[in-house]
Amino acid sequence: MRSATPPLPPLGEATDHLPPRVDPIYASHVVLRLSDRRVYLYDGDQLWVSYPVAVGREGWATPTGNFMVQRKQADPTWRHPFTGALVPPGPDNPLGRHWVGFWSDGNNVIGFHGTPQEELIGQAVSHGCVRMRNADVAEFFERVQVGTPVVVEP
């Protein structure tokens, strides 16, 4: 018995039928405005996206100036700044799942990271770091590269 449907022609290479691969767009620079409690990502001179943040509290102010992304790390381990105790990656880690470091004095480091206390976003509560909602910092992490300029304004 013969099939009523004729055989299909070969499809060829999958790439013949897919749109061209688009390289991800990375921020050309980052501006953190402490007074706004927001971080802004730019593509050239065009604002691309911004996120609300929590910043350093009195006595532990987030440093202002011109910096650059020095390090990115997924699932970081956190070292308690006073006791030196290590907190491994996981739900109890105060850094969340992403770390984007932009400042260091050789002993201390400051960066953007997630937080298990998202209700504190918008306040000055950290030891200098920039806390972000976990979903926001995951997206931020993907949009910046090591070497991306970071300008921190008062």
pLDDT digits (tens, 9 = 90+) for 13-72: 766 666 766 666 789 999 999 999 999 999 999 999 999 999 999 999 999 999 999 999
Residue 82: burial class (beta carbons within 10 Å; 0-12, 13-18, 19+): exposed
Residue in 17, 29, 127, 129 annotated catalytic = 129
pTM comes to 0.83
For the chain, give the mean pLDDT: 90
Query: Rounded to an integer, what distance in angstroms lies between the CA atom of residue 146 and that of residue 154?
Result: 23
The residue among 80, 74, 70 whose CA lies nearest residue 98 is 74
* pLDDT digits 0-9 by tens, 104-127: 998 889 999 999 899 999 999 999
Residue 113 known to be catalytic? yes
pLDDT value at residue 58: 94
Residue 80 known to be catalytic? no
The type of residue at 96 is G
Query: Rounded to an integer, what distance in angstroms lies between the CA atom of residue 130 and that of residue 53?
Result: 6
**Residue 127 CB-half CA count within 13 A:** 9
The residue among 63, 57, 70, 58 whose CA lies nearest residue 32 is 63
Residue in 17, 80, 98, 113 annotated catalytic = 113
